[in-house]
Amino acid sequence: MRDLLIATNNAGKVREYGGLLSSLPVRLRSLSEYGIETDVAETGQTFEENAAIKATGYAKLSGVLTLADDSGLCIDRLGGSPGVRSARYAGEHATDADRILKVLSELTGVPADVRTARFVCVIALSDPDGKIIASVDGTCKGMITDRPRGTSGFGYDPIFLPDGFDKTFGELEADVKDQISHRANAALKIIPFLRGFFNI
């Protein structure tokens, strides 16, 4: 088994990658398993920049192949916000519920047909020396609901209704979400690079 560091403290994200990369003979490791408490600051202006910053930073700290992603919700009516600030949109220590409430309050009175949005995910893969091997992206288009629906997933999942479905990411079964999500789309693109690095 080869070790792959998933550079996040988000347990929900690690679980998702466990499913998305289950076809590979790799062992997903978390930051805590390496005793890494350093917080690599996301100082980039784009998803691509932030993913690369995290991948290289944590690869150097751990000395192993590292996968990092930066992802977020981009709402057309809000000019693309929350965007790269998705995790900090309602403040540094806000909860998922706080962030959802902020988004819904900003869309009060906005008709359903103009609540278009997309989830974006950029994955960066860094070798143990901090060199970026690959950077890929994935998107999932949809709409923002008028209230949270479902308790599955994490983040903004309960208010995101993907195109072609009548259930939010918070209501969809995990195996369905793993086929259509922004992270699933990006993960499919990164798998060949993982196979190449590990020669598997």
List residues with catalytic annotation.
70
Among 50, 57, 1, 11, smallest CA distance to 33 is for 11
- Round to whole Å and give the CA distance between 157 and 165: 13
- Round to whole Å and give the CA distance between 47 and 66: 17
Among 84, 196, 70, 199, smallest CA distance to 136 is for 70
Contact 36, 57 (CB under 8 A): no
Helices (H) and strands (E) in the chain, counts: 5, 6
**For residue 191, what are the contacts with CB-CB under 8 A and spacing of at least 6?**
21, 23, 24
**For residue 59, what are the contacts with CB-CB under 8 A and spacing of at least 6?**
5, 7, 65, 66, 126, 127, 128, 129, 130
